[in-house]
Amino acid sequence: MAALVRNDSRIILHLVILPTLTGHLLTNHIQDYDCFYASVFEVERPELRSLPLAVQQKQIVVTCNYEARRRGLHKLQLIKDAKRICPDVVIVLGEDLTKFRDASKELYVLVRSFVWGGRVEKLGFDELFLDATEMIDYNTAVLNQNDLANSYFHLDRNDPTAGFSYDATRFQGSTFPAAEAASITEKEPSSLEMRLLVASHLQGHIRSKLEHEIGFTATGGISTSKMLAKLVGNVHKPNGQTTLLPPYTATANNTSNVFHFLDDHEIRKIPGIGSRIAQKLKSHITGQESVDEKITVKGVRQFPGMGPPLLDRILGGPGSVKGIGMRMWSILHGIDNSEVLEGRDVPTQISIEDSYGRLDTLESVRRELVVLSRSLIRRVRTDLLDMSDDNVPQGRWRAHPRTVRLSTRPRPPSDLGGGRTYSSNRISRSAPLPPFIFNLEENIDALAERLVRESVFSMFRKLHPEKTGWNLSLLNVAVTNMVETAGDQKQNSGRDIGKMFRQQETVLKDWTVQEPESSAEQLPGSPEIQSQSDDGWDDDEPLGNVDCPICGVSMPYFAQLAHQIYHSEQ
């Protein structure tokens, strides 16, 4: 199967950068900000940096800083457990996502300003892929072979003074496999090794800018595909970076570092292999229905008879994606040809929602709709208006949504047998968006009142014609049907890995209840977490442990909403 591994594969940095080798791309991946939500609070209040800090959504710690992790706390832990393990933990509430979204955007804008061609793709709030192919090609071509130790990285082709000095005899950061001095052995400028080395310095430079100019540390991976860059970035976390060293293909004398790196990974850890796929592969390999045993990439790849046809048989069936066998076979060989796509400047829709413990009167609904509409209009202005350099909205709209949509999720009666088997989905209604919401002279409160009065509330009455008798657990107001202003068209956003997850896990819109336990418990508090749900998922409110249909992680039911919000931002 070595033939599948291309000699000229792309290089990806997680902070991804892509240079070209014989016409092919390299990608860098700025992997992942460290304890992202916690860092947002630390940037706001630097005194928190030295304290154990946990960010709370509902009853869980969605993330915590590394000081807290040193003391035994971890992501997706119950608040009460966190307090027991670390009584002096500082807890901050992270249910309003605005500040995380804003920080994410600021970081994205800074990173994108470095990358020629703007090929920077967001994955969620805190991960970026950068395709730096063009920059790396240029910079390897101008290397002075006689004085590599005093090289200069050009950040701008037209301005020779824009750039930084670096030592091109050694890699920046760590490598896989770890090399004592991580120095270069192959000096040919177009060699994969040299291109990766140069890319590692760009990665280091961007990471240090993020840290010193905005205050966030990030972890980076450098390789030839999104998948490899992302995975190799995990090797030194937090605040580190790792380059996957060549050779990427096996030769008579050398094994491939791609196999060397991937082979010990548990299959579930590979992007694109969700819990269902992992489970099916495990059952086939062990011959048992449910297996806890860890199965590695190597274990699957080298299983007798393994190949695309067998994978098709194991993974095919209703709801599976066509060609899944071949795709899995490629993934097991470290092959991911998905491109880093240029981010969109304009979202496809903007939506704001809240969930509620109890919402059963017209007056309370009207009040909440005004609150949501206010946030929505604020977001519409932030996301769709051109900003001047000092973040002041200019008068020009980059896009106009044409439709407003209201969705609700009625809570099913609590006397259903056992309260476990029902599912309750969202219902929605759409209408043309009244153009007055684009009026910048009017203040947002007044616009929100008017939007509810003239449009959203009557949509609500059509969805729920009865005056009483309903009880809602969620309201969502969205603007959709985005029409971009001419001349501002950008390539569609690329979320290949995200898409891969979705397709391979089939189009699972429902959360699967794994181990239902107690009967219908209602989530406390009202209103709860504000979120942007771009997926318009029809979500249940399951009980017991649930399995995320996108990434497969299993979690207590109360963590589901926070987790769903996390994906919906991607």
353 near Mg ion, judged by CB under 5 A: no
Q: Which of 126, 134, 528, 547 lies at the binding interface for ligand DCP (CB under 6 A)?
A: 126
For residues 284-313, which are near ligand DCP according to CB under 6 A? none
Directed axis angle between helix 98-114 and helix 192-209, to 10°? 130
Residue 126 C-beta: closest distance to Mg ion, Å:
4
Binding mask 104-143 for Mg ion (x = CB under 5 A): ----------------------xx----------------
How near is the Cβ of 365 to Mg ion at its closest, in Å?
A: 36
What, of ligand DCP, Mg ion, none, does residue 171 touch, CB below 5 to 8 Å by kind?
A: none
Residue closer to ligand DCP by CB (options 64, 451) is 64
- Nearer Cβ to ligand DCP, position 246 or 271? 271
In the complex, what is the shortest distance from the CB of residue 230 to ligand DCP, in angstroms, rounded to a whole number?
11
Rounded Cα–Cα distance for residues 228 and 333 (Å) = 11
Euclidean distance between CA atoms 359 and 440, whole angstroms: 32
Considering only 20, 27, 28, 63, the residue that binds ligand DCP (CB under 6 A) is: 63
Size of site (CB under 5 A) for Mg ion: 5
For ligand DCP, give the closer residue by CB, 19 or 542. Answer: 542
CB 272 within 8 A of CB 504: yes
Quick note: the x/- pattern for ligand DCP over 197-226, rule CB under 6 A, is: ------------------------------
- Return the number of the residue (238 or 412) whose C-beta is nearest Mg ion: 238
Residue 393 near residue 411, CB atoms below 8 Å: no
The least CB distance from residue 63 to Mg ion, in Å, is 8
CA distances from 16 to 136, 179, 566 (A): 12, 22, 21
Report whether 122 contacts 108 (CB < 8 A).
yes
Beta-carbon contacts of residue 486 (< 8 Å; ≥ 6 apart): none
Helix (H) or strand (E) holding 243: strand 241-244
- Bridge-based pairing state of the strands 60-64 and 53-57: antiparallel
Helix or strand (DSSP H, E) at 103: helix 98-114
Give me the residue whose beta carbon is nearest to ligand DCP: 63
CB of 93 to ligand DCP, least distance (A): 13
Site string for Mg ion, 20-59 (x = CB under 5 A): ------------xx--x-----------------------
Nearer to Mg ion, 235 or 447 (CB): 235
Nearest to 28 by CA among 238, 154, 173, 215: 173
Inter-axis angle of helices 275-286 and 308-315, nearest 10: 110
* Token duo for residue 282: 């495990």
CA 256 – CA 247 distance, rounded (Å): 5
Is residue 62 involved in binding ligand DCP (CB under 6 A)?
yes
- Provide the minimum distance between the beta carbon of 218 and Mg ion in the complex, in angstroms, as a whole number: 8
- DSSP strands (E only) in 131-217: 151-154, 163-166, 174-176
Q: Tell me the backbone φ, ψ of residue 461, rounded to 5 degrees.
A: -65, -30
State the Cα–Cα distance between residues 459 and 372, nearest whole angstrom.
Answer: 15
Q: What are phi and psi of 559, to 5 degrees?
A: -85, -5
Helix (H, G, I), strand (E, B) or coil at 138: helix
Give me 162's structure tokens: 């824009």
Q: Which does 397 bind (CB under 5 to 8 A by kind): ligand DCP, Mg ion, none?
A: none
166 binds, among ligand DCP, Mg ion, none (CB under 5 to 8 A by kind): none
Kindly state whether residue 566 participates in binding ligand DCP, applying the rule CB under 6 A: yes
Residue 63 interacts with, from Mg ion, ligand DCP, none (CB under 5-8 Å by kind): ligand DCP
Of residues 17 through 36, those in contact with ligand DCP by CB under 6 A are: 32-36
Q: Name the site residues for ligand DCP (rule: CB under 6 A).
A: 32-37, 62-63, 75-76, 125-126, 238, 562-563, 566
Q: Name the site residues for Mg ion (rule: CB under 5 A).
A: 32-33, 36, 126-127
